[in-house]
Amino acid sequence: MANITYSKLLDPVSDIITLMESMLEGSFGPTSGDQRECYKRIHAYCWGLHTLVMDVITALGIENTATRPAVLERFVALNDPIKLTLDNLAAGFDGHLTDEQDAIIEYVLESVLSIEHMMTNIWHYSLLKHDMMVYANDEFDGRVLIQRMNSVLKHLVLSEPSARFLVIGDEARLSYAFAELANNVHRHSGANRVTLDTQDFGYRTDFTLYDRGKGFRLRGKATAFLPFWQAAADDPGLGLGLYLAKQFIEGCGGSIAVHSEPYRGTLVKVSLNTVP
Q: What is the pTM of this model?
A: 0.91
| 140 membership: H or E segment, kind and range | strand 138-141
pLDDT digits (tens, 9 = 90+) for 16-52: 999 999 999 999 999 999 999 999 999 999 999 999 9
Is residue 255 within 8 Å of residue 222, measured between CB atoms?
no
Tell me the C-alpha distance between 8 and 83, whole Å: 19
pLDDT in tens, the chain (276 residues): 445 678 888 999 999 999 999 999 999 999 999 999 999 999 999 999 999 999 998 899 888 999 899 999 999 999 999 999 999 999 999 999 999 999 999 999 999 999 999 999 999 999 999 999 999 999 999 999 999 998 998 867 766 666 788 999 999 999 999 999 999 988 888 888 888 889 989 899 999 999 998 888 877 667 889 998 887 767 778 899 999 999 999 999 999 999 988 889 999 999 999 998
Superfamily in which the 138-273 domain is placed by CATH: Histidine kinase-like ATPase, C-terminal domain (3.30.565.10)
Is residue 175 within 8 Å of residue 252, measured between CB atoms?
no
Q: CA dihedral defined by 68, 69, 71, 72, rounded to 10 degrees?
A: 150
pLDDT digits (tens, 9 = 90+) for 99-118: 999 999 999 999 999 999 99
